[in-house]
Amino acid sequence: MAHIQKLLIVEGIDDKYVISRLLQRRKITYQHFEIHDANGVKPSLNTFSIAIKSGNYDVIGIVVDADTDLLERWQDLRNRLIKEGYQHIPQNPNIKGNIITDPEEELPTVGIWLMPNNQNTGMLEDFIRFLVPEGDELLSIAKNKVNDIIKAGQNRFTQSHKSKAIIHTWLAWQERPGTQLGKAITYRFIKSQQYILDDGKASDFINWLQTLFKE
Amino acid sequence: MKTINSLYIKNYKLFKELRIDNLAQVNLIIGKNNVGKTSLLEAMMLLSDNQNIVHNLFNILCLRKLSPNANSSTQQYLEILRTFFHNQTNTCNETIFIGANEQQGYSISLSHNNTISRQSTLVIKQADNTVEEILLSDFQQIFNGITNHETHQAFVSTRNEEPEDFLSQIWGKVALSEKEQYLIDGLKIIDDNIEKLVFIDDTAHTKKAIVKLRDTKQPVLLNTMGDGINLMLRTLLTLVHCENGYLFIDEFATGLHWSVQATLWKMIFQLSLKLNIQIFVTTHSLDTLYAFQEIAKHDDTNVAVIKLQKFPKKNKIKAIHFKTEDIMIAVEQNIEVR
């Protein structure tokens, strides 16, 4: 028995559902594959290190938010990989996602994606916002409203969570108000049966997943 | 007792070459079935004592239930000794090396051209280049003469329960000394009602442990009281026996509830420090790993978790070090490390 064990570590339940639904939408499945919600950024990074060390996984991917300092997040991951024995890890993240293998074939193949797109600061919610079709009026209204609230000092959320405020506001105004992020990936308009989110802009991410996890 | 800080072995059983550094006071060895956990424990035992090598080889054979009987021939001794070598079919050119590193250790080999008599011999060469040659034809006598001499180490295995006589002997040395209190305190953790313990002769003239319980007039046979307390007593007595020495436990407390295991770990950590014992434990159990990190995270004792990992593509086995914090994360995140 030697099937290839694949693990994708994510920061939270929203990430898990969004990625599951993106794969579902493109009819992609992987064998012996698990999306692990580590429940937090530090736990995700620690789980990444332990999973590599455990020797029980052949392919390990991690999806974490770039947050406010992309390079710092990248360096943290880079240092962890160096500690586990990986070599030739680039100083900067690749915008199409990173995949690192061990030429000695002793360490698992690892992949890193920094939400939203390996180059901007931000988080999962920015990634989702990029999937809203061009010219969507409700998105501009939501953006303006959120900015107004911030200007008036009425926001209870911190500025760093602005993307969350915007996307959840937009979702609150859809046919099914309060649809979760994950469900929104596969939600279709009732009349036209068009998807409300355009997954075209998710192609880089999907391609990274495919390169990492496809047999 | 000299602490074993590192191990370097060659050609011992399934280990062509294995190096482990940074061993601790208490070491937990994990890994998949058949990766060599028991063999590693044996190698540690061989490393711990370079003066009684033949005795230890014999002990290892007994533990594996492979010991020669009184009528074994020289050829049979040869076959049995071959089982220690990595390449069992071609032991002519092979040398087992057991040491702390490449420079400090001893080697074992089989020679078929003894200078005196062209007979098969076991050759042991120490770090100071002294050589001992033992004719295989003499082995019968040697093995028959082996008694449990005064060692400060023990190899505990669930496959082989220590005879109660042995345990009662240890008890005999401990009774009424300050160490007796450690034992009672340890037993009380599992059953608070225990006040006193003694070994008595039963009808079959074997020794049995009996305890005085607080609310019961008649003493009770410890055997009737459950696996947890019995294992606790065996472990405590064995720890006491190993003062200033080494303790090797193969397959720790398999089958016991994790909370009982946690109690055992607590006693092991405490007594390893108090009695100056270096301890090596193997397990494949998740409960054991869980119990271990529950206790280790609140304890100062110097511990190490070592995983034996096979690399089939390179045909080798390596030791991977985990810290207590690593195991805590693995347990919390439900990541399989074994």
Cα gap A7→A1, rounded to integer Å = 18
Q: Answer whether A47 sits within 8 Å of B314, measured CB to CB.
A: no
Instruction: Give dist(CA A22, CA B275) in Å, integer.
Output: 59
Interface predicted TM-score of the whole assembly (ipTM), two decimals = 0.90
Residue from B329, B331, B338 to probe the interface with A (highest A Cβ count within 10 Å): B329
- Put simply, the answer to whether B329 touches A106 (Cβ < 8 Å) is no
If one counts every other C-beta atom within 10 angstroms of the C-beta of residue A64, the result is: 27
**Residue B23 CB burial class (10 angstroms; 0-12, 13-18, ≥19):** buried
- Lay out the sheet containing B121-125: strands in order across: B15-20, B7-12, B95-99, B105-111, B121-125, B131-135
Give me the tens of pLDDT residue by residue for chain A, a chain 215 residues long.
468 899 999 999 999 999 999 999 999 999 999 999 999 999 999 999 999 999 999 999 999 999 999 999 999 999 999 999 999 999 999 999 999 999 999 999 999 999 999 999 999 999 999 999 999 999 999 999 999 999 999 999 999 999 999 999 999 999 999 899 999 999 999 999 999 999 999 999 999 999 999 97
How many A-B residue pairs are in contact by the CB < 8 A criterion?
Answer: 41
Q: What is the pLDDT of residue A7?
A: 98
Q: What is the pLDDT of residues B85-95, one digit of tens each?
A: 998 877 677 89
Distance CA A60, CA A54 (A): 11
Are residues B332 and A53, on separate chains, in Cβ contact within 8 Å? no
Segments of chain B assigned to CATH 3.40.50: 1-49+242-338
Predicted confidence at residue B244, as pLDDT, reads: 93
Q: Looking at residue B147, what is its pLDDT? A: 60
Taking the C-alpha atoms of residue A28 and residue B149, their distance in angstroms, rounded to an integer, is 67
Residue B87, phi-psi category: left (phi > 0), alpha (psi -120 to 50), beta (remainder): beta
DSSP secondary structure string for all residues of A100-148: E--TTS-SPEEEEEEETTSSSSB-HHHHHHTTSPTT-HHHHHHHHHHHH
Contact B27, B71 (CB under 8 A): no
Of B126, B112, B121, nearest in space to B53 by CA: B126
Find out whether B181 and B252 touch, Cβ atoms under 8 Å.
Answer: no
- Number of Cβ within a 10 Å radius of residue B328: 17
Chain A residues close to B338, C-beta within 8 Å: 56
CB contact under 8 A, A51 and B314: no
What is the distance between the terminal CA atoms of chain B, rounded to a whole angstrom?
31
Question: What is the tens place of the pLDDT at every residue in A193-206?
Answer: 999 999 999 999 99
Paired tokens of A157: 């959320």
Helix or strand holding residue B164 (H, E) = helix B164-174
Set of chain B residues whose Cβ sits within 8 Å of the Cβ of A50: 326, 329-330, 333, 335, 337
Contact A142, A169 (CB under 8 A): yes
Whether A55 and chain B come into contact, CB under 8 Å, resolves to yes
What SS3 state is found at A72?
A: helix
pLDDT in tens, B121-176: 899 999 999 999 988 888 877 877 766 556 677 887 766 666 677 788 888 888 88
Distance CA A33, CA A41 (A): 21
The b/e string for B225-245 (b: 16+ C-beta within 10 A; e otherwise) is beebbbbbbbbbbbbbbbeeb
What number of residues does chain B have? 338
Q: Is A36 on the interface with B (CB under 8 A)?
A: yes
CATH 3.40.50 residue ranges for chain A: 6-122+202-213
CA distances from A184 to A23, A126, A129, B113 (A): 13, 14, 11, 80
Residue range B204-228, pLDDT digits in tens: 777 888 899 998 999 999 889 888 8
Distance CA B158, CA B156 (A): 7
Digit-coded pLDDT (tens) for B252-280: 887 788 888 998 999 999 999 999 999 99
Q: Above 90 in pLDDT, residue B232? A: no
A54 contacts B335? CB cut-off 8 A = yes
Chain A residues near residue B333 by CB distance under 8 angstroms: 36, 38, 43, 46-47, 50
Question: Cβ neighbours of residue B9 under 8 Å, at least 6 residues apart?
Answer: B15, B17, B18, B43, B47, B96, B97, B98, B99
Fold of A6-122+202-213: Rossmann fold (3.40.50)
B329 vs A contacts (CB less than 8 Å) = 43, 46-47, 50
**Alpha-carbon separation of residue A39 from A35, A79, A92, A184, B325 (angstroms):** 12, 22, 26, 21, 17
Question: Nearest 5°: phi and psi at B314?
Answer: -100, 0
What is the arithmetic mean of pLDDT over B106-124? 78
pLDDT of residue A1: 47
Query: What is the pLDDT averaged over residues B288-302?
Result: 94
Closest-CA residue of chain A to B318: A106
CATH topology of domain B1-49+242-338: Rossmann fold (3.40.50)
CB contact under 8 A, A50 and B314: no
* B335/A46 CB distance under 8 A: no
